[in-house]
Structure 1
Amino acid sequence: MHSLNIQYNPRIDQLRWLAATIVFLFHFHLEYRGAGGAGLSGPWWAVITEGHTGVGLFFTLSGFLFMQIALHQQQAQREIQYRDFLRNRILRIVPLYLVIFLLATSINRDKFAPQDILYLFASNLGLAPTSVSPVTGAAWTISLEFMFYLVFPFLARFTLERGIAYLGGWLVLMAFFKVAAYLVNANSTLMYFSTWVGRFDQFLIGMAAAMLYVRWRPQLARYAPLLLLASIALVMWNTAWMHRVAPFMMTPKSSFWIYWSFVESAGWAAVILAWVSFKPRLPGMVERALGQGGKISFSFYLLHMALLHILSQRVGIVSPTGVPWLDVAIMLVVTYGLTWALSTLCYHIVEEPFLRMRRNYGANRAAAHATSH
């Protein structure tokens, strides 16, 4: 997706596609097992069986991209204008999010209470209408994303003034908050998974990665192939470790989750740094396909669970060949293709008209100061 505030980097869209695809595979696996299929086993499949880690990539990537924009604005002697920044963010996520929220309140019509409207701002907490059904369950991340948007211009300003150590200070504070919260929460895994205390550090790590990218860009480009292999291995090892020690859906409370988000995000930050530094390009058709996947990734992310659930409930497991692995592959390809098509339609109908209303949110620094006085 092209930004008005920084030069387009197809690598970012490709990483968005990767994050959405990992989450899709996670939920496909859950629905397949729920329908009676034999699931994957073993720690080295954890990048799929614990594919919620794609959300960690999304959050880390957000911090990285927006800090890149802030650094670009600083280099151009411009400042982020808070009002225009929020306007762009609202145009980016609210239209589709509101559609999903209205779907959720329709599904829960008989149990709806007026105060449930407030869950628009806290879809990750309590008994949010979006979390009651798997059809709209993915929307829990949107409140955390928007929370980050609200504070990012300030975080970026203070980081640019004080350096990367400012982010390090925040990470120390987050570690303290995690320990304190662990001691008083009986369901701490879900807390770390879906709330500010468990996810804010991932945005911060993404911001720090953007600063390291600017500082070490030549070195990263030189060693990008090696770093890419090492970072992918690190992510796979991370998820295998989590699968073995404290799997998300089977561990309501474990001290492992105190530091898991940091470990997860550090691995994804390494992948981001390696991939944006990797100079060789993919074949043109693949570049365009992955770029399109990144462009529609928001619709893909919010709609995929609904489609998977429909197919699971109404079609179930099909066996066109009688060969189990081939049947699963066919189901996966067809389901993924249908999700891609539906997401493309949703992008053009719901997202794109509002995205065309965005505008540049950087202002000349001297002019901004003059306006403020």
Structure 2
Amino acid sequence: MNGQAAATRYESLDAIRGVAVMGILAMNIVAFALPMSAYFNPAAGGAPGTSDLATWAFNFVFVDSKMRGLFSVLFGASTLLVIQSAEASGRSAVGTHYARMFWLGLFGLAHYYLFWFGDILSLYAACGLLLFLFRGLSIRALLIWAGAFLFVSLLFLGSTWLSIAMLDTGGLPPETAAAMGQQMAEFNAMMGPNSPTYAADVAHFLGSYREIAGTRMGPDAAEPLVQVMLFLWESMALMLIGMALFKSRMLTGEWSPERYTKWATVCFAIAAPVLAWMAWHSAQTGFATMTVFGTGLVFSTPFDILMTVGWAALIMLLIQTRASAAVRARLAATGRMAFTNYLVTTIVMTTIFYGYGLGLFGSVGRAGLYLFCFGMWAAMLFWSKPWLARFHYGPLEWLWRSLSRFSLQPMRKGAAVQ
């Protein structure tokens, strides 16, 4: 592959990344607008209304974890593409990769401490430290390693769920149960119905910037590290699947429509009924802490990943067979600016919902939150393409690339890209 070929962009990969960066907002919007306990449990603030319950159920089955999963799959694919492009152009692949991960980690930490607790960039940078080691593996080997990482994730979170279940049912020795009492109280506040901290959390996020950011920089300063410890395993599994799907040419739009249709159908047919049953079961138990933890973080995980792959196949099918050239171009531009769009979304949403902005935190129901998603999606689609008609990169993509290359990169169209 020569340098020119290495620089070739895959429109389909950019387009599906555009869908993913919009989709992750549909997942994150609850965390932007409501206490974190509501993100896990629709009954955290009290019995949910019909529209809120229906919106939660739809998200649980089709959106939550799946859009983050798709974002992670595409991060793995894009990482491999960058490594291959660096090798093809004669640059140091290891230097290029680790410089990108170093700066991505710093961007992520700045995102967390300055703007929002839900950052995933620092987690992705941590995964990136390992991803380089898997770049030369075959599709089969990548999937085996993905299975191994997924097994560790399930073992880790599953053992925590088992401890909660045993405590909840009185199955632990008295001395062990007493020691876990405080931890169980924290789980109930974070994931249980009628969270005792719900009102306090609403009041906190209606406070000043200094108060909100002060919590992230003070008591919650170690949270990025905690997230890495908890979710590196599942994220690595998804990213390795992304590498495998890129090598199989699925994410470059080179499969036949029939093959995309088959994969989407099989994945949805297996995953959707199981996830729908889990949603029903959670509601039947009154969204008990043990059930919410188990269905949300443990037992749903394999089916979430399966549906993530199904979404990838379905989106690629629609891009290939249904989307017009204009739609593909809009989505691809949005995907090429995914880094900028992701961070700008945080700034816009926290300004809308937090106390130092419009102060809407805790006052909009789940169904109504989709209106904010629609508005932000329209903004992404509207501004990304005109920007890239004039410039080589999105603003933050340019900054990331310049820092990683240790030199200012050409920005305006007409200047040669390095």
For the aligned pair, the TM-score class normalised by the smaller chain equals 0.5 to 0.7
Q: 1 CA distance for matches of 2:153 and 2:400?
A: 37
Report the AA paired with residue 257 of structure 1.
Answer: L
Counterpart position of 1:291: 332
Q: TM-score, normalised by structure 2?
A: 0.57
Distance 2:264 2:338 in 1: 22
1:196 corresponding residue in structure 2: 232
Matched, 1:150 2:129: yes
1:53 to 61, 66, 77: 66
Q: Over aligned residue pairs, what C-alpha RMSD do you find? A: 4.9
- Write the mapping of 1:47-196 to structure 2, written as runs, cut at 5 A: 51-67=64-80, 81-90=93-102, 93-94=104-105, 96-97=107-108, 99-101=110-112, 103=114, 135-139=115-119, 141-157=120-136, 159-160=137-138, 164-165=140-141, 167-169=143-145, 171-172=147-148, 174-176=150-152, 178-180=154-156, 182-184=158-160, 186=164, 194-196=230-232
Counting matched residue pairs gives 313
Partner residue in 2 for 1:240:
276
Q: Which residue of 1 aligns with 2:173?
A: none
The gaps in structure 1 that reach 5 residues or longer are 104-134, 318-323, 360-373
Partner Cα separation in structure 1 for residue 394 and residue 247 of structure 2: 34
Q: Could you tell me whether the CA contact under 8 Å between 1:29 and 1:48 is conserved in 2?
A: no
Identity of aligned residues (%): 13
Tell me if the contact between 2:127 and 2:232 (Cα under 8 Å) persists in the aligned partners: no
Does residue 253 (structure 1) correspond to residue 253 (structure 2)? The answer is: no
Any gaps of 5 or more consecutive residues in structure 2? 39-44, 165-186, 192-225, 388-392, 406-418
Deviation at 1:136, TM superposition (A): 0.9
- Quickly say closer, same or farther: Cα 1:84–1:232, change in 2 above 3 A: same
How far the C-alpha of 1:152 sits from its partner, in A, is 1.7
**Corresponding position: 1:308 with 2:288:** no
1:28 partner letter: I
CA displacement 1:159-190 (0-9 Å, x = unmatched): 24xx6146415523641563255325656999
Q: In the alignment, which residue of structure 1 is the partner of 2:398? A: 352
Q: Label 1:68 to 1:333 Cα distance change in 2 as closer, same or farther (>3 A).
A: closer
TM-score, normalised with respect to structure 1: 0.62
- Could you report, residue by residue, the CA deviation over 1:45-87 in whole angstroms, capped at 9, with x for unpaired residues? 225895343111111222234446667899x799972122222
Farther-moved stretch of structure 1 (266-275 vs 77-86): 77-86
Distance 1:354 1:306, change over 3 A: closer
